[in-house]
Amino acid sequence: MEKEKAKLKALIKHWIEHTREHGKNFKKWSEKADEMKMVKTSEYLLKAAEATEKTIEYLEKACREVDA
């Protein structure tokens, strides 16, 4: 069971970093879309970036609970 807990914690940490990178890319491309006058596309990408922040929050809570 301890081995699986350690694996789960490692996976969650990986998912946090992976999700963080996606969020950064969403923001970057939101700015580029805005520069191309693709306003709605930019808005949706920004909303996706904001959603990743909430996802990261939940993943961080899950990671803390592994050791609880």
Contact 46, 27 (CB under 8 A): yes
pTM, two decimal places: 0.87
pLDDT for the residue 49: 98
Q: The tokens 């992976």 sit on which residue?
A: 18
Per residue in 21-56, pLDDT tens? Answer: 999 999 999 999 999 999 999 999 999 999 999 999
Cβ contacts of residue 2 below 8 Å, gap of 6+? none
Looking at the predicted structure, is the pLDDT value of residue 68 above 90?
Answer: no
